[in-house]
Structure 1
Amino acid sequence: MEKELVTTSPSRIVREAASAKDLELFAHIEAKLYTAVVSDSLDEMGYRDQAMRKDFRPLDPTFRCAGWARTVQCMDVFEIPEDPYGLEIEAIDSLLPGEVVVVSTGDSERNAPWGELLSTASKARGARGAIIGGLVRDVIKIQELKFPVFATGIKPVDSMGRGVVTDYNVPIECGEISVWPGDLVFADFDGVVVVPAAIVSEVITRATDKMNRENHSRDELMRGLYLADVYKKYGVL
């Protein structure tokens, strides 16, 4: 039986662990697709603002991750609270296999809520990566761990007295994109895209089809065919 989340917030969304089929989907996305083709497929369906801001970068250029969003909301504080890590620990300990942690800090530049130990704990729980809308630290250790982390900056400060987790598994805004628990999050070197849960199947089907057409286009262009002819045949650019 899967572990149930402890619900301490009336607005918190309770989720189940990813199924074997979900894990196969994530593996397919990470191995075969790329954020640009997924973004193009979202565009085709009228979802034209699903890519996070340009400053979300992987801590290692090889990092890629796909999974269901596990959202975490943080805020700046200016004194050390009585229990500075309580809700943060609860959120990480409740992670389920197949999730990608998405942390909103309100674009804080003083709160570095993510580092080596949270990455280690998340990987051990089966999380596939983390998207941090703010600063991180312990970068070399995270690279050695090979846990995909994307962030907007690096700073060696602890979050204690600077920021605190206020809730998790609730709708958040990260990178100027609304993220709901259970949305599909996909990140690679080009950036981070968020696919609303209700349209995941169609988006991935479209993206896979476009990827195949792009592969054929690339092969024919390498053989010297004109771009105009290849575009007319496959309809991708």
Structure 2
Amino acid sequence: MTLTDDVRQKLSRVSTATLATALFKRGLRNQFIQDVRPLNTNLPNMVGPAYTLRYIPAREDLNPLSVFQDRNHPQRVAVDQCPDGAVMVIDSRKDARAASAGSILLTRLSQRGAAGVVTDGGFRDSPEIARMNMPAYHHRPSAPTNLTLHQALDINVPIGCGDVAVFPGDIMVGDAEGVIVIPAHIAAEVADEAIEMTLYEDFVTEEVEKGRSIIGLYPLTDAQAKTDFDSWKKSRGNS
């Protein structure tokens, strides 16, 4: 599925928590990437199809600093070919002892128009990355070069990131809490449901702030609550 502007815009307006519930309704329990946090919580939602890079454990005889002289080094090629609007997702085996990338590579990603970057490892130069306008998610800062522990191997193949399977083209959504993975073929329907769920949660919040009980309201089980919600939506032009 191609990520349309309409679906991208809808997903930019909903939370990963709401998306997690919408996915759970479809039997998908493990889509939230574990132990990954945003470097800048003030940026808008990250939304884009996954473009992946896989690391394996580095072997000393194959991973000296000189490998970066190879113009076909997978890490460099992946960064330089990441499509406009995509999210680069890096499988660093949940190992943040060495960096997955640093500010220069992520600057290149940003200049190419990437929608964001996610690793279950760590980034070096994290203060500089935090000041970028491109969303970036990692486990924690890590100064050593990736070569000390990671060997870049495969580009745009199925990977694991933070205990979640990520396939190329899956739709990645990140907010101030973290990152969730939506299978591409259900992204449009999940986006539509998440928008409706968000509206209802806004309505519920207003009602609870007025002193209303959550019983029958959240989750919605009372007919009166449904009637009240429909009226609330109409008053705001969302009918």
TM-score for the superposition, normalised by structure 2: 0.83
Does structure 1 residue 28 correspond to structure 2 residue 10? yes
8 A contact 2:53–2:89 mirrored in 1? yes
Instruction: Report the Cα distance in structure 2 between the residues aligned to 1:159 and 1:23, rounded to whole angstroms.
Output: 35
> What residue is the counterpart of 1:115 in the other structure?
102
Deviation at 1:175, TM superposition (A): 0.8
> What residue is the counterpart of 1:40 in the other structure?
21
8 A contact 2:86–2:115 mirrored in 1? yes
> What residue is the counterpart of 2:57 in the other structure?
76
1:228 alignment partner, SS class:
coil
> What residue is the counterpart of 1:57 in the other structure?
37
Instruction: Report the Cα distance in structure 1 between the residues aligned to 2:41 and 2:189, rounded to whole angstroms.
Output: 28
> What residue is the counterpart of 1:196 in the other structure?
183
> What residue is the counterpart of 1:206 in the other structure?
193
1:70 alignment partner, SS class:
strand
2:125 pairs, out of 138, 159, 163, with 138
Q: Deviations over 1:110-136 (max 9, x none)?
A: 321221112111111111111111011
Q: 1:23 to 1:143 in 2, by over 3 A?
A: farther
8 A contact 1:221–1:230 mirrored in 2? no
1:113 alignment partner, SS class:
strand
8 A contact 1:105–1:111 mirrored in 2? no
Q: 1:192 to 1:111 in 2, by over 3 A?
A: same
Q: Deviations over 1:149-183 (max 9, x none)?
A: 11112111112343221011100011111100000
1:153 alignment partner, SS class:
coil
Deviation at 1:24, TM superposition (A): 4.2
Deviation at 1:141, TM superposition (A): 0.8
Higher alpha-carbon Rg: 2
Q: What fraction of aligned residue pairs are identical, expressed as a percent?
A: 27
Deviation at 1:224, TM superposition (A): 2.5
The number of residues matched between the two structures is 215
1:146 alignment partner, SS class:
coil
> What residue is the counterpart of 2:142 in the other structure?
155
> What residue is the counterpart of 1:185 in the other structure?
172
8 A contact 1:135–1:152 mirrored in 2? yes
8 A contact 1:76–1:111 mirrored in 2? no
The AA in structure 1 aligned to 2:24 is D
Instruction: Report the Cα distance in structure 2 between the residues aligned to 1:182 and 1:199, rounded to whole angstroms.
Output: 12
Instruction: Report the Cα distance in structure 2 between the residues aligned to 1:195 and 1:95, rounded to whole angstroms.
Output: 19
The two structures, once aligned, show a CA RMSD in angstroms of: 2.1
8 A contact 1:111–1:162 mirrored in 2? yes
The AA in structure 2 aligned to 1:206 is E
2:198 alignment partner, SS class:
helix
8 A contact 1:23–1:98 mirrored in 2? no
The gaps in structure 1 that reach 5 residues or longer are 1-14
Deviation at 1:230, TM superposition (A): 2.9
> What residue is the counterpart of 1:175 in the other structure?
162
